Amino acid sequence: MRWSRSYIPTLKEAPADAEVISHQLMTRAGMIRKLAAGIYNYLPLGLRAIAKVSNIVREEMNRAGSQEVLLPAVQPGDLWVESGRWELYGKELLRFTDRHDRHYCLGPTHEEVMTDLVRGEVRSYRQLPLSLYQIQTKFRDEIRPRFGLMRGREFIMKDGYSFDKDDQGADISYRAMYDAYNRIFSRLALKFRPVEADSGSIGGSFSHEFMVLAQTGEDTVVSCTGCDYAANLERAVAKVAYTPSSVDCPPCAEVFTPAQHSVEEISAFLQVPAFHIVKTILLDVDGKPVAALVRGDRELNEIKVKNHLNADEVHLATPEQVQQWTKAPVGFAGPVALEVPTILADLELEQREGWVAGANKADSHLTNVSLRRDAKITAYVDLRTVAEGDTCVRCGAMLGTARGIEVGHVFKLGTKYSKAMKAVFLDETGAEKDMIMGCYGIGVTRVVASCIEQNHDDKGIVFPPPMAPMEVVLLCLDPANEAVFGPAEEMYRQIQELGLDILLDDREERPGVKFNDADLIGAPMQLVVGAKGLARGVVEAKNRKTGEKVELPAQGFMEAFVTWKNSVYASWGM
RNA sequence: CGGGAUGUGGCUCAGCAUGGUAGAGCACUGCGUUCGGGACGCAGGGGCCGGAGGUUCGAAUCCUCUCAUCCCGACCA
């Protein structure tokens, strides 16, 4: 590609509406342009990066035995009615009608269509297992698109689906995808981590998220410093510390705590450590009141409540609801004599007696509370949010947290869709069975954005070679001078023959502009051909990642270039 | 959907409290001088001031309503 004839509109300044660095840099580097909220045009450089990712994904999916298909973006509403998601999916599903008033939607995901495709053809266990995938544009009408390609409404996703005859087979399919994902993200030279993810009401540990580690990530990854345990914060579990409980707990006593609402206030007022206080949180769970108890120094994880109760929606109760359910204003709720049908307590609360808790009465708390004796606890379950410094459930070492961007998700679906949509087959004994399904996603466009979040500096993008739209930029500083342009073109041609993607900057621009643009678009290798260098018989080469510059001889250039290229790859651990 | 903010040449923004001929920088065109890390001079082109109503002799500026965009919370690759 010659820069002078390419559509690479670089910008000195980033548009004001670009918040995150990947969005700013992709716009400035001429990779993308915004068309509408959460909807982007992919320009040549942007599309090239996407294609690089897609190709690696494709190779590894094929290698793992999955077959590529391409399903429609527009889907009939009937299929969604059949799976039950037409009602459930909410406004994120963009629906519309055609001229005959038939219902359609833009596909946010393809379980329905894929299940429909397979159920029509697969009749026998002999045809299983089957694994299909596609790389395609999805549309989710996000309430709030943000962060450029990180969370667009329209985005490119690889979604794969497996169909197995039994659980064992499904686990093998799942494992194959898990391994493929590890290979994909490794090949892309990303710093990533597979973590155990919240698998919702389906349960089990059959869901992993692949997180690219970056400061700007929206998710928190909990990982053990001692073993390989890693989990999404939503799901992460910590070891319950053993605390001997006092055998004799004196009777409860009411204390006057005027206007002391928060745990910190109570702790200071009563001179009691926060971890001797019970925090009582009232929740609206599918419209019904639920009280959740955690230690005063802990945070409640609402997802855990939701999963334990198999609920659809969990909200914090409004002050009015709190008043109605506890007969007290916010800040004085407690488990004793609480008239709420479901009271869940965190496992840690089982270890001790003599708590301080709200009295369900304005300006009053109770001391010497024994949950066993004084409260009707429905169940003791893990409810707390893990924090930095907690101990690992597996090995007891300390847990740490990091920020991550979810770029992939593997999920064992079970028979949720096959049952609803009658995707059945006959097994060896002639019995009809539901297929066991799995689904596996990779946010292709998000992978590109997250890579930039992870690899950039103040000059621009620092692409790893496998994802770089252009692996080499050759800056010809004097394109009008045939004595310079001739050799530059010759090198350009020879490097192309090596199979590398190279951009020849043949623009009539000042050198400074070219240097800065080259840094901005992030090609891992930069070559500078100018009159001054050639006079000394050298071509300058810069490793974008390390900033290291070396001079390669113009005579016997290709040989020296290949050696240098290998050193650049080596700096990426490749 | 709640809370906050912003809409002025392609981009970044000023002007708006106190109405009176639309501005700057970057980008673009031409000429000249420059030419190894975002040059300089001169001369140009380009704007329904998001849209619709209203107030006023007069509105980018004041009022009302809309639309769009962005940020913070609940969803997700």
Which residue from A437, A257, A433, A394 is spatially nearest to A332, judged by alpha carbons? A257
Q: Could you say which nucleotides of strand B lie within 7 A of any protein CB atom?
A: 1-2, 11-13, 25-27, 34-39, 68-77
Residue type, A522: G
Q: What is the pLDDT of residues A105-133, one digit of tens each?
A: 999 999 999 999 999 899 999 999 999 99
Instruction: Give pLDDT, residue A482.
Output: 93
Distance from CA(A95) to C1'(B8), angstroms, rounded: 37
Instruction: Give pLDDT, residue A203.
Output: 46
Looking at this predicted complex, what is its ipTM?
Answer: 0.92
Which residue from A8, A116, A34 is spatially nearest to A71, judged by alpha carbons? A116
For residue A407, which nucleotide's C1' is closest to its Cα?
B77
Confirm whether any atom of chain B, the nucleic acid strand, is less than 7 Å from CB of A500.
no
Name all domains of chain A by residue range, CATH numbers in brackets: 16-237+401-452 (3.30.930.10), 253-381 (3.90.960.10), 470-571 (3.40.50.800)
Confirm whether any atom of chain B, the nucleic acid strand, is less than 7 Å from CB of A510.
yes
Average the pLDDT over A58-67 and give the result: 98
Write down the residue that tokens 């939607």 correspond to: A105
Exposed (0-12), middle (13-18) or buried (19+): which is A555, by Cβ within 10 Å? exposed
Confidence of residue A135 (pLDDT cuts 50, 70, 90): very high
Distance from CA(A442) to C1'(B11), angstroms, rounded: 33
Residue A3, pLDDT > 70, answer yes
For residue A155, which nucleotide's C1' is closest to its Cα?
B77
For residue A406, which nucleotide's C1' is closest to its Cα?
B77
Q: The tokens of A287 are what?
A: 């419209």
Q: What is the pLDDT of residues A8-45, one digit of tens each?
A: 999 999 888 888 999 999 999 999 999 888 999 999 99
| Strand B proximal residues, A:235-294, Cβ < 7 Å | none
Q: The tokens of A252 are what?
A: 């409860």
Query: Where does A370-419 show beta strands of DSSP type E?
Result: 379-381, 399-414
Confirm whether any atom of chain B, the nucleic acid strand, is less than 7 Å from CB of A515.
yes
Confirm whether any atom of chain B, the nucleic acid strand, is less than 7 Å from CB of A479.
no
CA atoms within 13 Å, Cβ hemisphere of A86: 15
Q: pTM of the full predicted structure? A: 0.91
Residue A188, pLDDT > 90, answer yes
Alpha carbon distance A421, A336 (integer Å): 47
Alpha carbon distance A212, A294 (integer Å): 31
Confirm whether any atom of chain B, the nucleic acid strand, is less than 7 Å from CB of A140.
yes
Alpha carbon distance A513, A3 (integer Å): 13
Which residue from A9, A5, A1, A53 is spatially nearest to A31, judged by alpha carbons? A9
Kindly give the residue spans of alpha helices, DSSP state H, lying in A364-443. Answer: 371-374, 416-420
For residue A156, which nucleotide's C1' is closest to its Cα?
B77
Confirm whether any atom of chain B, the nucleic acid strand, is less than 7 Å from CB of A98.
no
Between A381 and A245, whose confidence is greater? A381
For chain A, the first-to-last Cα distance in angstroms comes to: 25
For residue A313, which nucleotide's C1' is closest to its Cα?
B74
Tell me the angle at which helices A557-571 and A482-497 cross, rounded to the nearest 10 degrees. Answer: 60
Q: What is the pLDDT of residues A156-184, one digit of tens each?
A: 999 999 999 999 999 999 999 999 999 99
Confirm whether any atom of chain B, the nucleic acid strand, is less than 7 Å from CB of A38.
yes
Confirm whether any atom of chain B, the nucleic acid strand, is less than 7 Å from CB of A534.
yes
Q: Please, are residues A394 and A227 in contact by the beta-carbon 8 Å criterion?
A: yes
Which residue from A408, A409, A410 is spatially nearest to A447, judged by alpha carbons? A408
Q: Please, are residues A47 and A560 in contact by the beta-carbon 8 Å criterion?
A: no
The strand pair at A379-381 and A355-358 is best described as unpaired
Average the pLDDT over A360-378 and give the result: 90
The strand pair at A253-256 and A230-232 is best described as unpaired
A287 φ/ψ sector (left φ>0, alpha ψ -120 to 50, else beta): left
Average the pLDDT over A326-336 and give the result: 88
| Strand B proximal residues, A:300-329, Cβ < 7 Å | 303
- The pLDDT mean for chain A works out to 91
For residue A197, which nucleotide's C1' is closest to its Cα?
B76
| Strand B proximal residues, A:373-432, Cβ < 7 Å | 406-409, 411
Confirm whether any atom of chain B, the nucleic acid strand, is less than 7 Å from CB of A459.
yes
CA atoms within 13 Å, Cβ hemisphere of A206: 23
Alpha carbon distance A132, A130 (integer Å): 7
User: Is A151 strand, coil or helix?
Assistant: strand
Distance from CA(A491) to C1'(B27), angstroms, rounded: 32
Q: The tokens of A276 are what?
A: 């001797």
- Using only C-alpha atoms, what is the Rg of chain A? 29
Q: What is the pLDDT of residues A200-250, one digit of tens each?
A: 545 445 889 999 999 888 888 998 989 989 988 888 888 887 665 656 788
Q: What is the pLDDT of residues A410-429, one digit of tens each?
A: 999 999 899 999 999 999 99
Confirm whether any atom of chain B, the nucleic acid strand, is less than 7 Å from CB of A442.
yes
Distance from CA(A428) to C1'(B7), angstroms, rounded: 67
Confirm whether any atom of chain B, the nucleic acid strand, is less than 7 Å from CB of A520.
yes
For residue A153, which nucleotide's C1' is closest to its Cα?
B76
Confirm whether any atom of chain B, the nucleic acid strand, is less than 7 Å from CB of A37.
yes
